[in-house]
């Protein structure tokens, strides 16, 4: 897993870098970003992985969220992978913005032809953490995960399925019940086929009913989000958490939409949430 350094930039006493490697899981070259805080000069630091939403890349959060200042204060390493394979050349992968390139949905596809390369769940939870642990001063025993929209869905699923790996989890405007919304129907039907039992393994609302996370989950949702009613369904996740005893802080914010001004407004709260559980 040789690491290719694309660029590195001094940032709040730490280093913001962009990297690439040949992914065994994906079968293609993958890009990702890492912010290494200044505390890493004296020893391994906790790692928080951020999963971005539809159409985004490994650069989106790094550039728009304004997270490095707080991460530097708290001593958190931030890892941001890309949102899908690039260059798989699957027929139709660039035909729509909500499926295919930029829209891997953090699942391991089982339906052909997607199953050959679209294995973002295993990439995010297994291969990338191993590469980061081998290449950076990261403490793999202290990992958290968070994300936005499609990435919020991914973060909740990764944490609920791997509570021993991810000690902290949070999400901005997550797709809470993808089995119940158009985005999820399109993605899961394409990547996983018609087996609804397979869909449930990547549905946070379904998972939390039987697999609550041992930590408190933080979710922020803007009430001016144009996708709220049709795609996100936070009320379904909230009800499932209440039924299973999952500790949840669900915050709703008047006037905030689905974009990165919303994320930048509350990213400090999320980083402090992770730091309290990891440091």
Strand partners, 14: 11
The Cα 221–Cα 257 span in angstroms is: 8
Longest dimension (CA), the chain: 50
**Helices marked H in the chain:** 60-64, 68-74, 120-122, 128-135, 150-161, 182-192, 196-200, 204-210, 234-244, 260-278
Which two three-digit tokens encode residue 12? Answer: 């709040």
**Contact (CB, 8 A) for 125 and 158:** yes
Q: Catalytic positions, please? A: 149, 225, 258
**Of the candidates 87, 67, 65, the residue with the CA atom closest to the CA atom of residue 78:** 67
* Radius of gyration of the CA atoms of the chain, in A: 17
């Amino acid at each position: 897993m040789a690491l290719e350094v694309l660029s590195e930039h001094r940032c709040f006493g730490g280093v913001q870098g962009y990297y690439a490697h040949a992914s065994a899981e994906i079968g293609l070259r993958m890009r990702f970003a890492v912010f290494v805080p200044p505390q890493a000069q004296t020893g391994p630091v906790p790692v928080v992985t951020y999963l971005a939403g539809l159409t985004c890349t490994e650069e989106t959060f790094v550039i728009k969220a304004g997270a490095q200042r707080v991460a530097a204060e708290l001593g958190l390493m931030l890892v941001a992978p890309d949102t899908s394979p690039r260059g798989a050349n699957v027929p139709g992968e660039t035909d729509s913005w909500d499926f295919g390139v930029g829209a891997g949905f953090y699942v391991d596809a089982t339906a052909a032809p997607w199953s050959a390369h679209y294995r973002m769940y295993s990439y995010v939870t297994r291969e990338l953490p191993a590469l980061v642990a081998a290449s950076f001063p990261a403490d793999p025993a202290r990992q958290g995960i968070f994300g936005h929209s499609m990435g919020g869905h991914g973060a909740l699923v990764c944490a609920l399925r791997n509570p021993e790996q991810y000690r902290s989890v949070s999400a901005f405007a997550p797709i809470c019940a993808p089995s119940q919304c158009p985005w999820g129907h399109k993605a899961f039907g394409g990547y996983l086929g018609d087996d609804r039992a397979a869909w449930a393994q990547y549905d946070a609302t379904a998972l939390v009913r039987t697999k609550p996370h041992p930590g408190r989950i933080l979710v922020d949702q803007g009430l001016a989000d144009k996708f709220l009613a049709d795609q996100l369904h936070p009320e379904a996740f909230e009800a499932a958490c209440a039924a299973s005893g999952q500790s949840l802080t669900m915050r709703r914010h008047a006037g905030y939409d689905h974009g990165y001004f919303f994320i930048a407004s509350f990213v400090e709260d999320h980083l402090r949430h992770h730091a309290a559980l990891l440091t």
